[in-house]
Amino acid sequence: MSSSDASAPAETATSGPMIKFDKVVKQYGDHVVLDHLDFEVARGDRVTLIGPSGSGKTTILRLLMTLEKINDGVIWVEGDPLSHERKGDKLVPASEKYLRRMRKRIGMVFQQFNLFPNMNVMENITEAPIHVLGMDKDAAVARARELLEMVGLTDKESAHPTQLSGGQQQRVAIARALAMDPDILLLDEVTSALDPELVADVLDVLRDIARTTDITMLIVTHEMKFARDVSNRVLMFDAGRIVEEGDPEQIFTAPEHERTSRFLKAVLAAE
């Protein structure tokens, strides 16, 4: 996108949406993954993205983490452009310094836990707050202990990832993301790599976070009961576009679009 293609929206960081996708295009070669996508997420919302594999859901999370670059359009976070920065009244591609600053607002929990295998649990959680945020070590450790209590792992701070079950590793990954005190938490199929009996503990932790904090959450999951419990809004994607959106009760009990109905029947039948 050229610097003349966009200008700043009128809303301020406090009054406008937490996340705004403005005509965002993402493609790989000739394959269009996101097709001029427009949507907003309000501050404190819990929004779940559902849809078939390849519909663009995880790509949205990867763009927000700046793990991928958009081809066109603008993504806004709290009124600031994410992958662009302002130069006068123009938007130009963001510098690495600017991207690092923007990334601090966003935490992500991945399918694979991505813990540092050579660090124990405490070190995994405190590494980024100390070295990225510049937090005092004692303060970082105290915060990590609060988070370990939240995720039910107070006795595991000295354990290494290989000594933990998959469910425990994922709960450490959640604590690590929250240790950065992000405004936005992205969850990408966080239970898909877990054995079925470990899924419930992880989902219970996430339900507690949704209930007890005002953090904005954007969730990709195939756990439809969890989506229904934790979300206040659901977006159904197909072929890089939003097919239908609404509150969970409406989407899961009376979808208006035939594509949504077919998808939910297939997913619920497989559970």
Under the banding of pLDDT at 50, 70 and 90, the label for residue 15 is low
Q: Residue 88 in contact with residue 130, Cβ under 8 Å? A: no
CATH for 1-105+186-271, options being 1.10.510.10, 3.40.50.1970, 3.30.2320.50, 3.40.50.300: 3.40.50.300
Which residue, among 223, 213, 219, has the nearest Cα to 234 in the 3D structure?
Answer: 219
Give tens-digit pLDDT for 72-127: 999 999 999 998 999 988 999 999 999 999 999 999 998 888 899 999 999 999 99
Give all strands of the β-sheet with 216-220 in edge-to-edge order.
Answer: 106-109, 184-188, 216-220, 46-50, 233-238, 241-246
In the chain, pLDDT over 90 holds for what percent of residues? 73
Query: CB within 8 A of 164, min separation 6: which ones?
Result: 121, 156, 172
The span from the CA of 147 to the CA of 245, in Å, is: 33
User: Tell me, what's the pLDDT at 14?
Assistant: 53
DSSP letter string, 144-184 = HHHHHHHTT-GGGTT--GGGS-HHHHHHHHHHHHHHT--SE
Domain parsing of the chain, residue ranges: 1-105+186-271, 111-181
| Residue environment code for 219-229, b if the CB has 16+ CB neighbours within 10 A, otherwise e | bbbebbebbbe
Which residue, among 7, 43, 32, has the nearest Cα to 22 in the 3D structure?
Answer: 7
The secondary structure of residue 133, as a DSSP letter, is S
Cβ count near 107 (within 10 Å): 24
- The lowest-confidence range among 6-10, 44-48, 180-184 is 6-10
Mean pLDDT, range 193-212, rounded to an integer: 88
Mean pLDDT, range 144-172, rounded to an integer: 95
pLDDT at 11 over 90: no
User: Tell me, what's the pLDDT at 245?
Assistant: 95
Give tens-digit pLDDT for 42-77: 999 999 999 998 889 999 999 999 999 999 999 999
CA atoms within 13 A on the CB side of 227: 29
Q: What is the mean pLDDT of the chain?
A: 90
